[in-house]
Amino acid sequence: MRMLWLFSLLCVICVCYGQTTWTCMSSSDAVLVNSSSKKLEEKIHSLEVQVKQLQRLVRKQDRPSYTSIEGFPRDCLEIYKNGTRTDGIYSISPDGRCPFFVYCDMTNGGWTLIQKRVDDKINFYRSWDDYVSGFGEIDGSHWLGLENIHRLTRDGSQVYFEMENYEGKTEYAHYKVFTVHEAATAYKMNVDAFNYEGNIEELLSYHDNMKFSTYDRDNDLDSRRNCCADLDGGGWWYKICHRLGNVNGVYGKMTKGGIGYSNTKIIPIKNVAVKVMDIRGRC
């Protein structure tokens, strides 16, 4: 009963802010058919966080003037430009369609997180459908969802990988051009290494123009194996197989299949956050 009430409230509030020309498709739809009690609890918790955020939005009377539909900001950068400096969960609508929740890094200028790994509470061994809709806890370990990532980056964005290795050192990779295309392309990704900044070798351009892959939908170019399945099931834009690309691997595993990047050898990563910002935003 609690699950159904939360789901109903979420959709009702969302529709109130939307237009009749589009349908609010919450990533929590799957909760109605998910038989796993652990996953069910994760979904319920996620819904509770979303409902609380929506209630705050409904009560708020002094919203800033945003450019997108019905007062919803396009992304975290727009919220930042309107004066907000507090990290946390916000509701955005990049394209005037149904809003969704994101975690905003305001400390560093208004970045929108699309992925984060800080613990092993969330299983990233997920199907294609899960990677499309998104999963996890927005204020913890999560994947925002390919459809939402597409909506955020379709007009051009930057992407920033913030990583901590097991020696406690922070590593980063910053690309000025990053786009995820629509579902019809299997969420093909384009990235440009021009003006790359980072304290690790430039590696992501190896994955340029690749479709997304999961263990149950193999779109990589390796004819011998399924890169995703071989690397313990974390979805990514694999080629043959990854260089900067196993951020969705097994948390805490320091060998093949664990979170990390590779060139001549595997570099294990303890924590990682991937975030995007409008291509015209501050660098």
Distance (Å, whole) CA 237 – CA 181: 12
Q: Given 3-state DSSP classes, what are the helix, strand and coil percentages for the chain, each rounded to the nearest 5? A: 30, 25, 45
pLDDT band at 233 (very low <50, low <70, confident <90, very high): confident
pLDDT band at 42 (very low <50, low <70, confident <90, very high): low
pLDDT tens column, 133-182: 999 999 999 999 999 999 999 999 999 999 999 999 999 999 999 999 99
The predicted structure's pLDDT at residue 17: 37
Mean pLDDT of 128-132: 98
pLDDT over 80 at 67, yes or no: no
Distance (Å, whole) CA 117 – CA 258: 12
Q: Which run of H or of E encompasses 177?
A: strand 170-180
Average pLDDT in the chain: 83
Report all structural domains of the chain as residue ranges with CATH numbers, in order of start. Answer: 2-278 (3.90.215.10)
Report the percentage of the chain scoring pLDDT > 90. 68
Distance (Å, whole) CA 190 – CA 205: 8
> Is the model more confident about 219 or about 6?
219
The predicted structure's pLDDT at residue 11: 44
pLDDT band at 71 (very low <50, low <70, confident <90, very high): confident
Identify whether the C-beta of residue 140 lies closer than 8 Å to the C-beta of residue 121.
yes
Where do we find the tokens 């190896």?
A: 206
Distance (Å, whole) CA 165 – CA 242: 18
Q: Which of 16-20, 172-176, 265-269 has the highest mean pLDDT?
A: 172-176
Q: Which of 121, 113, 70, 117 is nearest to 90 (CA)?
A: 113
- By DSSP bridging, strand 157-165 and strand 170-180 are antiparallel
The predicted structure's pLDDT at residue 281: 82
The predicted structure's pLDDT at residue 35: 41
The predicted structure's pLDDT at residue 137: 97
pLDDT over 50 at 27, yes or no: no
Q: Which of 204, 235, 243, 205 is nearest to 218 (CA)?
A: 235
pLDDT tens column, 97-116: 999 999 999 999 999 999 99
pLDDT band at 45 (very low <50, low <70, confident <90, very high): low
* CA angle (220, 181, 213) in 5-degree steps: 25
Q: Which run of H or of E encompasses 174?
A: strand 170-180
